[in-house]
Amino acid sequence: MNRFTLERQASKVKVTIGCDLSGTVSAELRDLLAAIQEDGVTDLTLDFSGTVAIDAGGIALLVAAGNSFRGGDRQMALVSVPRGIFSLLQTLRLSQRLGAQMG
């Protein structure tokens, strides 16, 4: 699986993450999300079905993305989040803020 797979319908984009979210991957995803936002996307879904682990940089990226894509006419959700990552997001009190759904 590629690192990221995009599906777009008008102003909605689903990004499937096909690897662990750490290090250089977080930087690549940050750049991708910035480009998506500049392109007028208002509804972002991040699909974690291909992700097993996340580090502090990945968490920071999700918080920043959440700040950018939530509120007003924009929204963001995390779907198919593995139990371990979902539990970490709950512990950090981020699961609800980021719209995380375990799957």
Digit-coded pLDDT (tens) for 13-64: 999 999 999 988 999 999 999 999 889 899 999 999 999 999 999 999 999 9
- Mean pLDDT value across residues 60-75: 89
Domains and CATH numbers, the chain: 4-102 (3.30.750.24)
Q: What angle do CA 79, 69, 39 make, to 5 degrees?
A: 105
Please state whether the predicted TM-score (pTM) of the whole model is above 0.85.
yes
What is the Cα–Cα distance from 92 to 17, expressed in whole angstroms? 21
**Residue 101: how many CA atoms within 13 Å on its side-chain side?**
9
